[in-house]
């Protein structure tokens, strides 16, 4: 029993060590959407819920009418406010290259691919620096993914990651 508990603690520490948050995007091997293939890495963009305050008028005392149809006393209302979720919180998952793939050569190839498309003008140095992340953000935002964390889909579109074949 204690060996299983110790194993669970060690495993959770490993998963926590691999989880990193960068610019609001959570990345790392410790995260994956339900049903993700084993050995894949994922990024997640959490989108907060949209909540609005709703004000309602609640009838406390209805109007009283005279026999001739005129209003004897006006109705009395009280105001109630409560919050209501308009759009629930969501997580947008996207597959990313796993950390072992992010070598100096890989990042240099990424920089060259971005440079060839006019999105990166910095040095080809293999560093995933702010200029490289900015170029990744520009290309991915144009494609509908507002993140500076390189997705597998973008890497495939840039021609730097192999596209899987279907038999």
Sequence spans of domains, the chain: 2-48+90-157, 50-87
pTM: 0.61
Cα separation of the two ends of the chain: 45
Look at 31-45, 64-78, 137-151 and tell me which has the smallest mean pLDDT.
31-45
Q: Largest Cα–Cα distance of the chain, in whole Å?
A: 91
Model confidence pLDDT, tens digit, residues 123-145? 999 999 999 999 999 999 999 99
* Between residues 3 and 154, the one the model is more confident about: 154
105-112: long-range contacts, CB 8 A cutoff, minimum separation 24: 106/160, 107/132, 109/160, 110/136, 110/150, 110/155, 110/158, 110/160, 111/135
User: Given a cut of 70, is residue 22 above it in pLDDT?
Assistant: no
Distance of CA 13 to the CA centre of its chain: 23
Q: State residue 15's pLDDT score.
A: 37
Q: Among the listed ranges 24-28, 46-50, 66-70, 141-145, which one has the minimum average pLDDT value?
A: 24-28
How much is the mean pLDDT over the chain? 82
**Are 98 and 41 spatial neighbours (Cβ–Cβ below 8 Å)?**
yes
């Amino acid at each position: 029993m204690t060996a299983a508990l110790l194993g669970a603690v060690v495993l959770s520490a490993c998963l926590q060590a691999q989880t990193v948050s960068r610019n609001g995007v959570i990345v790392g091997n410790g995260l994956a959407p339900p049903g993700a293939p084993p050995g894949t890495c994922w990024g997640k963009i959490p989108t907060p819920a949209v909540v609005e305050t709703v004000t309602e008028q609640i009838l406390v005392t209805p109007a009283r009418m005279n026999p001739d149809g005129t209003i004897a006393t006006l109705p009395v209302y009280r105001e109630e406010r409560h919050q209501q979720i308009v759009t629930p919180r969501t997580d947008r998952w996207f597959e990313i290259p796993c950390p072992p793939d992010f070598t100096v050569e890989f990042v240099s190839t990424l920089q060259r691919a971005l440079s060839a498309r006019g999105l990166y003008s910095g040095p080809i140095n293999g560093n995933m620096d702010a200029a490289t992340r900015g170029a990744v953000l520009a290309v991915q935002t144009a494609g509908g993914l507002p993140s500076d964390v390189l997705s597998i889909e973008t890497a495939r579109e840039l021609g730097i990651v192999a596209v899987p074949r279907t038999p």
